Amino acid sequence: MNSVKYGSEAESKEREDFIKLIPVPDEVFIAAAKRAVVIAGLSDETIEALHPEKESEPSLR
């Protein structure tokens, strides 16, 4: 049977604080990640499933 080892509250808080330090990806990062996925040989459909394009804003007409 698999067992799970739970850390202390201090370790949990430390992990949470570390995760909060990770910045939100910007457009350059996303473009580089998509390029890496293409180079890896994944299809455009896979890229779209992993990170859908933003919905276009309605045009003012």
Gap between the terminal Cα atoms of the chain: 63
| Predicted TM-score of the model (pTM) | 0.45
Rounded-to-integer distance, Cα 21 and Cα 18, Å:
5
CA 1, 6, 23, 33: dihedral to nearest 10 degrees?
-10
For residue 59, being part of any structural domain is answered with no
For residue 45, being part of any structural domain is answered with yes
The pLDDT tens digits of the residues spanning 9-27 come to 888 889 999 999 988 888 9
For residue 38, being part of any structural domain is answered with yes
**Rounded percentage of the chain residues whose pLDDT exceeds 70:** 75
pLDDT band at 3 (very low <50, low <70, confident <90, very high): low
Q: How many domains does the chain have?
A: 1
For residue 35, being part of any structural domain is answered with yes
In this prediction, residue 58 carries a pLDDT of 46
Rounded-to-integer distance, Cα 24 and Cα 37, Å:
19
**Rounded percentage of the chain residues whose pLDDT exceeds 90:** 15
The whole domain housing 34 covers: 23-53
pLDDT band at 49 (very low <50, low <70, confident <90, very high): confident
